[in-house]
Amino acid sequence: MVEKSGLEIARGLFIMKDFNIKSVEDRLKKILAHCSRKTWGETALAISRYAIWEYEN
């Protein structure tokens, strides 16, 4: 899978064959843009589908 896309995401993980900061930054920007909601609570819930962080539970 990584051979085709160059970067795969699992919850809390970025999986790549070779580290490329530009790819990571681009993917993070897309994820955060996709997670934008009307309230912080809704936004945090959307982000939590991709990330593991201190505000869980």
41 vs 17: CA distance, rounded Å: 34
Is position 57 within any domain? no
Instruction: Write down the pLDDT at residue 33.
Output: 96
Q: Is residue 43 part of a domain?
A: yes
Any domain includes 56? no
Confidence (pLDDT) at 55:
58
**Number of domains making up the chain:** 1
Can you say whether the dihedral through the CA atoms of 38, 51, 10, 22 is positive or negative?
positive
pLDDT of residue 5: 65
Range of the domain at 25: 2-47
Judge whether 55 lies within some domain: no
d(CA 11, CA 56): 13
Identify whether 53 is part of a domain. no
Model confidence at 2, pLDDT cuts 50, 70, 90, reads low
Tens of pLDDT, residue by residue over 17-55, are 888 898 889 989 999 999 999 999 999 889 888 888 775
Tell me whether residue 10 is in a domain.
yes
Q: Do the domain assignments include residue 8?
A: yes
- DSSP E strands in the chain: the ranges are 8-10, 13-15
Instruction: Say how far apart CA 22 and CA 41 lie, in whole Å.
Output: 29
